[in-house]
Structure 1
Amino acid sequence: MNEDQQNSVPNFDSIKDVPEKLLSYVDKFVKVQVIKNRCFMGFLHSIDPISLSVILLVPHEGSYRTTVIPGHAIEDMQEETPSDNIKLPTRKSVTVPTESDTPQRKAQLIAWFKKNLLSITETGDNLTIGNVSVLPPYSAKDICAENPVVFMQIRKLVESMPPNFQA
């Protein structure tokens, strides 16, 4: 690459303050140059706009290894062309419950807890089982508990509820 071509490729310093440019690298195959002359190549999964840390999906033996690179260590990042046998990994889709789903999910969860012989009380929108609360929209991420062992047990129970469970 001659000097003119090298100058036309944006370096990390010129793009790190432009959020739109950073976002354009997400899901692209990139080469990340870090301090101590190390280099990582993989698909850019996400980038933290504050610290500029990146999560890179690095191809490894037919699969992908997740690598977190702290923003302070990045010297340069540029898009590369992956070899033909490297394809962008598919992302898991996450369904976000809507507000109209919340009452149904609440009734479903109450019935699930009762089926599993747990005593449950409703306090406003919150479901309470002993010293554990489940908040709207009533997913496994909406559990509040001080005891981590109890928290994990309730979370496992919520996660084990079949999606088509009838209240």
Structure 2
Amino acid sequence: MTAGNGTKSTRNACHIEKFSDTFKRLGSGSRFLTGEMGEWCSMLPQEWIAFVNQEVKVTTQDKQQYEGIVFTVDPVSGSIVLVTFEEKRSASVKVVLGHAVKDVQLIKAGDDDTDRKMKSLFTPAGSQEFSTEELEERKKDLRAWLEKNLIPVTDEGDVLRVANVLTISAPYDSEQCSSSNEIILARVQSLVESKPGREQQ
């Protein structure tokens, strides 16, 4: 059993390496899959991962064609979620059902710019990413501000707990305050929003 599992793991790793290397090595127009229904769906989820963030053209069994960047591939059905960026960075999303896929052709290999665009697309407006160090600093600053205003607060790892009735999770702003007591919730949110330097963080 151990040897069999090891062989399967090695096989999966080889599949990922094979497809990743192929994307880097071959230029636009490279074709990765052509055949009858079932070939795409018979691939391993580990193989589908290599298509994420690649710009592709998908041809279906009924000869329809769809182009876009692969956001993800459903690990059960093999359905492909394609994203197409329009003008002014707006985007449209198209799902191609796995059983309908006949041919997948590489148009352009993904790069860092593709990765940034895909991440920004599914990030709520006005939000931003913080490093571990930045989150820790934000938590420390907020705790000091609350204590300065005589609010009892304890640090419980990733969460600040206020008087055992309210919690504040990362990234430690008013929107991350949670409590069933609406009066305390409103008061603490107001206090968080009045914290000096909040807009610069």
With the length of structure 2 as denominator, give the TM-score of the two structures.
0.47
Which residue is equivalent to 1:47? Answer: 73
Distance between the aligned counterparts of 1:60 and 1:104, measured in 2?
38
* 2:95 is the counterpart of 1:69: yes
Which residue is equivalent to 2:53? Answer: 27
Which residue is equivalent to 2:3? Answer: none
Deviation at 1:118, TM superposition (A): 8.2
* 2:46 is the counterpart of 1:13: no
Q: Deviations over 1:112-136 (max 9, x none)?
A: 5457x5834216444224643134x
* 2:132 is the counterpart of 1:97: yes
Letter in 2 for 1:162: Q
Distance between the aligned counterparts of 2:135 and 2:92, measured in 1?
33
Letter in 1 for 2:38: D
Aligned partner of residue 78 in structure 1, secondary structure: strand
- The CA RMSD measured in Å over matched residues stands at 4.6
Distance between the aligned counterparts of 1:48 and 1:122, measured in 2?
41
1:17-166 → structure 2 map (5 Å cutoff): 17-33=43-59, 39-61=65-87, 63-69=89-95, 71=97, 74-76=100-102, 78-81=104-107, 88=114, 90-91=116-117, 92=119, 94-97=129-132, 104-113=137-146, 119-122=151-154, 124-125=156-157, 126-129=159-162, 131-135=165-169, 138-139=170-171, 143=176, 145=178, 154=189, 157=193, 162-163=200-201
Aligned partner of residue 9 in structure 1, secondary structure: strand
In the alignment of these two chains, the number of paired residues is 144
Deviation at 1:64, TM superposition (A): 4.4
Note the residue ranges of structure 1 that are not aligned, 5 or more in a row. Answer: 1-6
Higher percent of residues as helix: 2
Distance between the aligned counterparts of 2:62 and 2:177, measured in 1?
43
Residues 25 and 79 of structure 1 are in contact (CA less than 8 Å); yes or no, is this contact kept in structure 2? Answer: no
With the length of structure 1 as denominator, give the TM-score of the two structures.
0.54
Deviation at 1:54, TM superposition (A): 3.8
Residues 30 and 77 of structure 1 are in contact (CA less than 8 Å); yes or no, is this contact kept in structure 2? Answer: no
Aligned partner of residue 47 in structure 2, secondary structure: helix
Residues 142 and 172 of structure 2 are in contact (CA less than 8 Å); yes or no, is this contact kept in structure 1? Answer: no
Percentage of identical aligned residues: 16
Aligned partner of residue 139 in structure 1, secondary structure: coil
